[in-house]
Each structure stands twice: as structure tokens, then as C-alpha cells.
Amino acid sequence: MRQDLVIGMAGAGGDGVIAAGEALIAAAAIDGYHARMTKSFGSQIRGGESSFRLRMSTAPVLSLGGALDVAVALNWDDFLRFGAELPVGGRTTVIYDSKTGVATSQIPLTGITPAEVVAVPIDQMARDLVGNDRAKNTVVLGLLSGWFGLPAAAILSGLKKRFAAKGEETVKRNEDAFNAGVKYAQEHPLAKGSTLAPVAKTTAKRLIADGNTMCGAAAIVAGCRFFGGYPITPSTEIMQFLTKELFKYGGTVLQAEDEIAGVGAAIGASFAGVKAMTATSGPGMSLKSEMLGLATIAELPLVCVNVQRGGPSTGIPTKSEQSDLFQAVFSAHGDVVRPVLAPVSVADIFGITIEAFNIAEAYQTPVIVLSDGDIGQRKETVDPFNVDAFPIVERDRPAPDELAAYTRFKLTESGVSPISEPGMAGGNYLASGIEHTQSGAPTAAGSVHAEMTAKRSRKLDPLKKRKDLFQEYGRAGAPLALVSWGSVAGIAQEALTLAEREGLRVKLLVPRLLYPVAEEIYRAFFKSVQGGLIVEQSYQGQLWRLLRMFVNVPDGVEPFARPSAVPISPEELVTRLKHIAVELQRGRMPEAAPVE
Amino acid sequence: MQATLQAKDFKSDLKPIWCPGCGDFGVLSAIQRALAAIGRPPHEIAFVSGIGCSSRIPGYTTAYGFNTIHGRPLPIAQGIKLAKPELLVLAAGGDGDGFSIGGGHVAHVVRRNIDITYIVMDNQIYGLTKGQLSPTSPRGLKSVTSPYGSLEGPINPLLSVLAYGAGYVAQGTPADMAALAKLIEDGIRYPGFAFINVQSPCITYGSVDAQLKQQKAAMQDLRALGHDSSNKLGAYALAEEYGTKLYTGVFYRKPVAEPTMEGLAAERHAMLREKALPKSDILKLFAPA
Ligand SMILES: Cc1ncc(C[n+]2csc(CCOP(=O)(O)OP(=O)(O)O)c2C)c(N)n1
Ligand code: SF4
């Protein structure tokens, strides 16, 4: 019995591929499995081919795994368009619709021989049973359930709900199609198949969420009551979710004319005393950067989410990447220190978004949440958690007696000065992007500029001590290290387990605060380290380079960085770690692998 | 009842850095007078500007001011008004700020009809950066970036804002400060987006021919001309003459104002309030089917 199953499926538009994936992940959540699913679409806007890749497991899912265990092709041409997303390996069972009529020997899987290739008359079964080739996905669900032990009852109840509106008849016919798939599977056992181990049903049902929606929900909990944004893949679901939900809480969403106006409106709302957010992806971030500088110098709280995609320029909208780190940290003129946080999973973006609001309010600063397309759009099972356990921070407003002699940008030891807002009598001040004195008066005096720059930077120093924004795994004194952030951190976590199993002594650091760089935390972590990898989905190895600006990263620690074309796998990280370990044993520094 | 406010209550301690004789001084006084007439205390007013000589203006008032970045006062002002509709929100800037770098925002604040009064100090030149061509400079104007005369014609701010569909469009000049104050007051009272173009000459870099001379000589009051401000076609015809004649007064005032976005948002809040899940239950949104 398997503990874990990776399924990939592709078909033409209208084949219901995504619906099948969603039925599976819902059934997984209901039955207590852990699961993660990503969808991919072809280049056509409508009616194009689509695919999903889903991993179900009895244990928490940290990545989408390596090669598929099961590949379902409703159509070969469509399947092969997702070559990188749906990698077939030597252990894969390939199931295809016999209607597509490709002989086994012709299956062009770039030299890889899958474990088993099975043709099923999927289209025919759908037509016979439902009288409609649109039910192919239901047949496939039955096949998967029969061959791999996926929870039939939960899938069936999902189907029932889905088709309830269309009447009993439709429900019944889809049930028949599902059962026929199950029966077919039983009558044609797989040579190499094996079923997924059952799990004890959880009392609290797991939830299913995508990162963008989670982010929006967290913003509401954090107290966000204004959102200004402009649509851009893969961030748009944040705005869409908030337009639906935020008005219920007395908040307002502005779909602005562009990203500059979106962030500008959010800054205006924050100036008016309301917690505000904007969200976008790389190109939008580029446009927002002047405004972010304004929020920094005017010392206004603001949360700005960047759901990264492949860049530069318009790049690849649908490919997730981690190549906007430099932009998040440095895209501003002048001396700007701006907190950058990164979530590691769908569940994690909830806490990270709340934390971003808390930091923004506490320090009166814009905060960037560096999410990515993977976290933003994939679906994941999430264990229910206590929403009330997250502390919510409010900005330090002047008390009524402080308003008598109020100074907005007062130089305080912490660098934070109480902030008033329109409506507060006595708190009147001039906020500006122009350098200003403590009272807010514009100035060109170099000495004031120096003082104010120091104030704005100093107030963020306490962040660097926030150990709670770092996760450490593995053995404390290990000589080998992994550092990884964002959606790739889960892959590094799997690599750690694999590496330990192979006898390597490794530890892993996952920073969720990327900037300001927490120098002491890294220094302590690197103390025992002689070699290792800083893993991320970019070309330049941006975190590796950033850390080297602030910390003495040991020479043996090299970047393992690759843009989004081919996902990074735990296995290749372990292979590289082994190589480093061998080199270290020989007493030589390893040759750095070329940055690809 | 508010204690009666006077123009001086809106005068801050900051000393304007404008060149002596700059038209913006008059605009400032007119705004202070208008605000006194309105009678809202300074702390209930948010005054937003972009960047330019003219954009320094909020700092010279006692209102909550926000001197933002070049071209962007309107988005920021809209965020303020949508977040706190009870505030009186003013936006101001130069012609470069409003119709060049920030030109894209004007159409949208109009389309949303957010109750903001937008005052453009139109000096047909870039003042702060010392005399470059502006989007309202007349064709052929010689400036430091058009030493042989500009090749481009001007944008017509009055006509474009009218065409976007604004409910209130007016023009004034500090040469007639009392009338300008009245226009600003009227614009603030208009329950929706109001645009006031102010022919405010730059005496340092501006074109004396194009603006200064014309201002005194060719000034004509729209009401005296018999223009009915509810006549939109008439307003278009008069606005066409921007750059040749200096009309002052209200070009257009929509007789029945349309709903504002903040007003509609408040209705939506009231309509949906009951549907808000308690914070502790928000994860219910993620329950599997
Ligand atoms: C993004 C950006 N680009 C350019 C500038 C430089 N700049 C400052 S003010 C200005 C133009 C000012 O002209 P206008 O808006 O007409 O105002 P005025 O000074 O004439 O009142 C320019 C180009 C800037 N501050 N920011
Ligand atoms: S440069 Fe022109 S616009 Fe600027 S302050 Fe001087 S006169 Fe006024």
C-alpha cells in the first residue's frame, strides 16, 4: 500500500479535467487525507487544454513530488503540452483514452518507459452511460477510485452535490458512470498498481484553500478595510475575493485604473486611518515602487502583496517564480528599509498576511508579502486553526492629551512616533514625500534628512530579532545546510528528510522574514556549517546574493537556483548535498556549481 | 454649531516658498476664504497634492495635508474619501501634475464621481523644474525644452474633463480672488467630483504673452456672457476657446447630481453587513463542498 500518490491529468477544454481534480481534492479533505493540487492551462483564453497535478498523502504534503505515479491522458496532444508539469517516470502508470488511438510503442515520452500503459475506452463509456462525452471525467474518477483506493463515498457525495441542480436523472447517470469506472478497474486489475493506504477520519474536517483566497481572508481578520488594485495574473483572486467579502465588513475595494492608482488609493486610505492593502504581480510591483517610497517616507502602514510570476517584463504570467526578491528589497530610490515577508504554504500565508499588517501598523511602514503563483493559485488541504489566536496590532495613535502639543514625526528612541489621522482635532499635520522636519514641514536641510533617514531605518531593527519568523529543522550542529524560502521551502524540507535517511547531517533554515536581513539569526545558523545550498526558483540565486551582503555565508554554501521551467526536486538537492559532503570530507572546498 | 471660522484659521505657520507675485498666492487665499465659508474645521479636511510649485499648497493650510508624488494626488485623495467619506477632501496640483504625468487618473475619478474638489493651478509651464514645456503650453511656445518653439499643441483641460462627464467644471483666476473663492466654495458644495481650472500665471518662467497679458485683457465672466451653467453643449462650445479666451465662472454644473461612489459603497455596506461571518468563523469559507 502506498502512503502517497501523485496524479496528473490533461485533456481538452470541456473535458472537465479541472473539475475532476477539484472533486478529488475535496474528497481527500473530507476523508482526512492531505493533498495539494495545481492547475495549468494552455495558451488559449477559452476552451484550451488544461491539466491538474495532485498529490494525496496520508502525511502532510510539502511538495508536489517528483514524477507522476499516475498519468491520465484524455488526449495525447493535450497531455504532451504539459511536459514539464506532468513528468512521466519509470514508476508511472499511464492511463489513456483508447479513442485517442495511440499505440503503446508510439507514446513519445522522451525515452522514458513508464511502468505500465493502459488504454481504457473512457469516451465510449461516458457516451454509453451518460450519453454525453462530457462525463469522461466522472469515468476517470471511478477508474482512479477503483485502481488506487481513492475514497469513493466522498467522491460520490461531491458528484451528487455538483449535479443536484440538474436533477435526479443527471445525478444518477453520473453515479453510473463513476461506478462503471470502478467496475472496469476491478475487472482489469493493474499489474503495477497499488492502493493508497486509508487514513483515520479526522474529527475536524480539513479545509481546502488556495493562497490568494487565504491571503484575502487573513486581511479581513487583520482588520484591512480598504483594498486598491489592478488585475494581474496570478494575483487577481485576492482582489476578486475581497470585492465579494470586504463590503460585508464595511470595507471598500477599488479596482483602480492602474497599479499606481491602486496602491495610491490604499496609501490614501491608510493616511485616513484605515488598514489598507494592495496586491499585484511583478509588472505591477514595478509600477508601484515610487508609491512604496512615498509610504516609507510618510511613515504610513501599508501591505503590498506580490504574487510572483516568471519575469522580467511581462515574462510568463502563468509560471511561478521567486525572482522578485531583489525588487521587493531594493526597488526604491533613496535609503529605504522595507520589511519583506514570504509565506511557505497556503496555510502559512494566513499568518504571514496578518503579521504583515501587524508589522505595518506597529512600525508605520509598507510591508511586502512575497507570495508566488504556486502558493497563490494551488489548492491545498489545510487543518482548521484558531483564527482568534492571532494577535492583531493597531497603530499607535496619539492620546487626547498628547494632541495638545502634537508632533507627527517626533524623533523617538524607537523611531516610531504616534500617528494621527484626519478627523482628530489637534493632530493636523502635513504628510509628505518631501523630506520633512519632526513637525512635517518640508525641508532640504541635510542634517534633518540624515536624522530622519536614521529614524526610518532604526525603527525596523527589532524585526531582525524575530526568531519566530524563522523555521529551523534538522540537527542543530549539522555541517551541511539548506536555506530556502517561499513555496520552494517545502521541497527543501523533503530533501532534508531524504538526506537524513541517507546518513547526511543536514539542517534547514526557512526565513519567512527576508528583509531586513536578520544577521544574528543567520550567523548563529551558519556557525556549524561548512557547506550547503540556498535553494530558490530564480536564475541569479537572489537570496544567496542578498545574504552575502550582510552575513559571512560559508564558502561551501552555494546557490541552487533555477528559474521556473523545470521544478526543483528534493532528489536533486540531495544529490548535490552528497557531492558537497564528499568534497568537504576530502578537505577541499567544492567547486561551486554553475548558476543556471 | 461650529464657531464661525475665518480665512486666517486655515493659514499655517509655513511661509510659502513661491516667487513673489506667483499666481498661486492668490489661489491659496481663495482656498482659505472658501474653506472659512464652508465652515468645516481644519481637522476634518484632507488636502492632497502632487509635486510642483503649486503642489506645495496643502502645507500652507491648517488642514491635514498630504504632499504626495508627481501626478498622483487624485488616487490618494480617492482612497481617503472612500475610506472616510465624512472628510472634506481637496486635491490640487499643477497642469503638468494633473494633465501630463497624472493625466490618466482624471477620467477615472470623474467616472467614479467621488466627491473631491480638484483645483489645478494652470500656469502653462513647468514651474518647479524651471521652465519646461507643459501639456497646456500653447503651440509654438519657446521654453527650455522647446527652444525653437514647441511642436505640440495644448491639451484642453476644460474640454477633456467635461467630456469625461464631470458634474462640475469651472475656471477662475487669482486676478479676481473673490470670484475664485466663490467658485471653490461652490465646487466643494457640489455633491460629487468638481474640477476648477485656475489660470494661475508663473511670473518667473511663464509666458507673459500667452497668459499674463491675456488674463487681464481678455477675461470674461461666463454669467455676464449669459451662459447657463446647466447647458452642457454651450459649455463645450465655450470650453473650446481655452487658450484663446479666458472665461471665468462655471462652465457646467449638472442640475441633478449623480450618486457618488462613496455613497453607493455605503449602501452596499448596509446591504451586505448581515452576511459578514464573525471573524472566528472565517475559515468556513474554505469548507470542502
Ligand atoms: C516621477 C517624477 N518625474 C518628474 C519629477 C520632476 N518634476 C517635479 S515638478 C514637475 C513639473 C511641475 O509642473 P506642474 O505640475 O505644472 O507644476 P508647477 O510647478 O508649474 O506648479 C516635474 C517634472 C518628479 N518629481 N517626479
Ligand atoms: S516658478 Fe513660477 S510657478 Fe513656481 S513659484 Fe515661481 S512663479 Fe510660481
Task: Compare CB distances from A205 to B107, B269, B288 and report the shortest one's residue.
Answer: B288
Q: Which residues line ligand 2 (CB under 6 A)?
A: B 18-19, 22, 24, 53, 123, 127, 202-205
Interface check A29 vs B, CB under 8 A: yes
A508 Cβ contact partners less than 8 Å away, ≥ 6 residues apart = A472, A473, A474, A481, A482, A483, A484, A492, A493, A496
pLDDT at A593: 57
Checking A107-115 for CB contacts under 8 A at 24+ apart, the result is A107/A76, A108/A80, A110/A83, A112/A88, A114/A71, A114/A88, A114/A89, A114/A90, A115/A90, A115/A91, A115/A192
User: What is the Cα–Cα distance from A487 to A543, expressed in whole angstroms?
Assistant: 14
pLDDT exceeds cutoff 60 at A589: no
Q: What is the pLDDT of residues A321-351, one digit of tens each?
A: 999 999 999 999 999 999 999 999 999 999 9
* Closest residue, chain B, to A300 (C-alpha): B66
pLDDT at A428: 98
User: What is the Cα–Cα distance from A52 to A67, expressed in whole angstroms?
Assistant: 14
pLDDT exceeds cutoff 80 at A193: no
Are B180 and B30 spatial neighbours (Cβ–Cβ below 8 Å)? Answer: yes
Half-sphere exposure of A293 (CA within 13 A, CB side): 18
Q: What is the pLDDT of residues A23-36, one digit of tens each?
A: 999 999 999 999 99
A458 Cβ contact partners less than 8 Å away, ≥ 6 residues apart = A414, A415
pLDDT exceeds cutoff 80 at A103: no
Which chain B residues are closer than 8 Å to A37 by Cβ? none
What is the B137 CA–ligand 2 centroid distance (Å)? 15
DSSP structural state of residue A198: P
Percent of chain B with pLDDT over 90: 92
Are A184 and A125 spatial neighbours (Cβ–Cβ below 8 Å)? Answer: yes
pLDDT exceeds cutoff 80 at A461: yes
pLDDT band at A388 (very low <50, low <70, confident <90, very high): very high
Interface check A572 vs B, CB under 8 A: no
pLDDT exceeds cutoff 90 at A245: yes
pLDDT at A197: 93
Task: Compare CB distances from A272 to B87, B276, B279 and report the shortest one's residue.
Answer: B87
User: What is the Cα–Cα distance from B91 to A417, expressed in whole angstroms?
Assistant: 26
pLDDT exceeds cutoff 60 at B197: yes
Mean pLDDT of chain A: 94
Q: Which amino acid is at B175?
A: A
Q: Which of residues 5-44 of B touch A (CB under 8 A)?
A: 14, 41-44
Interface check A198 vs B, CB under 8 A: no
Please state the atom number of ligand 2 nearest to the C-alpha of residue B17. 5
Ligand 2 atom 8: the closest Cα is on which residue? B22
The three three-digit cell numbers of residue A87, written as one number: 513528468
pLDDT at A574: 98
Task: Compare CB distances from A209 to B62, B80, B286 and report the shortest one's residue.
Answer: B286
Interface check A346 vs B, CB under 8 A: no
Which chain B residues are closer than 8 Å to A30 by Cβ? 288
Ligand 2 atom 5: the closest Cα is on which residue? B18
Q: Find the mean pLDDT for residues A514-540.
A: 98
Task: Compare CB distances from A425 to B43, B104, B108 and report the shortest one's residue.
Answer: B43
For residue B38, the SS3 value is helix
Q: What is the ipTM of this complex?
A: 0.98
First to last CA, chain B: 56
pLDDT at A66: 87
* Closest residue, chain A, to B263 (C-alpha): A252
Interface test with B, best of A247, A270, A294, A353 (most B CBs within 10 A): A247
What is the B202 CA–ligand 2 centroid distance (Å)? 5
pLDDT at A129: 86
- Cα dihedral sign, A488-A493-A496-A501: negative
Q: Which of A312-326, B56-70, B146-160, B205-219 has the lowest mean pLDDT?
A: B205-219
Q: What angle, rounded to 10 degrees, do the helices at B232-239 and B157-164 form?
A: 150
Cis before B174 (ω within 30): no
The three three-digit cell numbers of residue A278, written as one number: 494592495
Please state the atom number of ligand 2 nearest to the C-alpha of residue B123. 3
Q: Which of A134-148, A152-166, B46-60 has the lowest mean pLDDT?
A: A152-166
Ligand 2 atom 4: the closest Cα is on which residue? B127
Task: Give counts: helices (H), strands (E), chain B.
Answer: 9, 8
> Bridge-partner residues for A253, per DSSP?
A227
Q: Tell if the CB–CB gap between A388 and B279 is shorter than 8 Å.
A: yes
Ramachandran angles phi, psi of A120, nearest 5°: -130, 135
User: What is the Cα–Cα distance from B65 to A433, expressed in whole angstroms?
Assistant: 11
pLDDT exceeds cutoff 90 at A460: yes
Ramachandran angles phi, psi of A331, nearest 5°: -75, 75
Q: What angle, rounded to 10 degrees, do the helices at B73-83 and A259-271 form?
A: 50
Q: Which of A87-91, A454-458, A540-544, B42-46 has the lowest mean pLDDT?
A: A87-91
Q: Find the mean pLDDT for residues A504-528.
A: 98
pLDDT exceeds cutoff 80 at A490: yes
Checking A439-444 for CB contacts under 8 A at 24+ apart, the result is A439/A407, A439/A408, A439/A409, A440/A408, A440/A409, A440/B59, A440/B65, A441/B14, A441/B59, A442/B14, A442/B56, A442/B59, A442/B67
Interface check B75 vs A, CB under 8 A: yes
Q: Which of residues 380-439 of A touch B (CB under 8 A)?
A: 382, 384-388, 421-434
Task: Compare CB distances from A268 to B58, B78, B285 and report the shortest one's residue.
Answer: B78
User: What is the Cα–Cα distance from A316 to A128, expressed in whole angstroms?
Assistant: 41
Query: Which of A480, A474, A475 shows the shortest CA–CA distance to A585?
Result: A480
Q: Which of A201-210, A412-421, A579-588, B89-98 has the lowest mean pLDDT?
A: A201-210
User: What is the Cα–Cα distance from A253 to A393, expressed in whole angstroms?
Assistant: 22
What is the B200 CA–ligand 1 centroid distance (Å)? 16
Which chain A residues are closer than 8 Å to B51 by Cβ? 433
Are A387 and A370 spatial neighbours (Cβ–Cβ below 8 Å)? Answer: no
pLDDT band at A114 (very low <50, low <70, confident <90, very high): confident
pLDDT exceeds cutoff 70 at A70: yes
> Bridge-partner residues for A379, per DSSP?
A37, A210
Query: Which of A335, A321, A326 shows the shortest CA–CA distance to A545?
Result: A326
Q: Find the mean pLDDT for residues A98-113.
A: 67
pLDDT at A78: 86
Half-sphere exposure of A535 (CA within 13 A, CB side): 31
A541: left (phi over 0), alpha (psi -120 to 50) or beta: left
pLDDT exceeds cutoff 60 at A105: no
Q: Tell if the CB–CB gap between B72 and A387 is shorter than 8 Å.
A: no
Interface check A26 vs B, CB under 8 A: yes
Query: Which of B156, B164, B163 shows the shortest CA–CA distance to B233?
Result: B163
pLDDT band at A526 (very low <50, low <70, confident <90, very high): very high
Q: Find the mean pLDDT for residues B78-103.
A: 98
Ligand 2 atom 6: the closest Cα is on which residue? B19
Mean pLDDT of chain B: 95
Q: What is the pLDDT of residues A547-578, one digit of tens each?
A: 999 999 999 999 999 998 788 999 999 999 99
A583 Cβ contact partners less than 8 Å away, ≥ 6 residues apart = A531, A556, A589, A590, A591
For the CA atoms of A411, A413, A415, A419, the dihedral, rounded to the nearest 10 degrees, stands at -70
User: What is the Cα–Cα distance from A8 to A88, expressed in whole angstroms?
Assistant: 9
What is the A459 CA–ligand 1 centroid distance (Å)? 31
pLDDT exceeds cutoff 50 at A50: yes
Q: Which of residues 211-250 of B touch A (CB under 8 A)?
A: none
Q: Which of residues 270-299 of A touch B (CB under 8 A)?
A: 270-274, 276, 290-291, 293-294, 298
Q: Which amino acid is at B25?
A: F
Q: Tell if the CB–CB gap between A268 and B64 is shorter than 8 Å.
A: no
The angle at the Cα of B111, spanning B110 to B113, to the nearest 5 degrees, equals 60
Residue keyed to cell 497499488? A194
Q: Which of A79-88, B85-94, B238-247 has the lowest mean pLDDT?
A: A79-88
For residue B61, the SS3 value is strand
DSSP assignment of A84-150 equals TTS-EEEEEEEEEEGGG---GGG---TT---SEEEEE-HHHHHHHHHSSGGGHHHHHHHHHHHHH--
What is the B146 CA–ligand 2 centroid distance (Å)? 19
- Cα dihedral sign, A579-A581-A582-A583: positive
The three three-digit cell numbers of residue B11, written as one number: 493659514
Residue keyed to cell 514625500? A433
For residue A336, the SS3 value is coil
pLDDT at B64: 98
pLDDT at B1: 46
Q: Which of residues 209-228 of A touch B (CB under 8 A)?
A: 209, 213-214, 217, 220-221, 225-226, 228
Q: Tell if the CB–CB gap between B80 and A256 is shorter than 8 Å.
A: no
pLDDT exceeds cutoff 70 at B210: no
B16 Cβ contact partners less than 8 Å away, ≥ 6 residues apart = B24, B25, B28, B56, B60
Interface check B2 vs A, CB under 8 A: no
User: What is the Cα–Cα distance from A323 to A87, expressed in whole angstroms?
Assistant: 24
pLDDT exceeds cutoff 60 at A595: no
In angstroms, the separation between the Cα of residue B65 and the nearest Cα of chain A is 4
Q: Tell if the CB–CB gap between B69 and A249 is shorter than 8 Å.
A: no
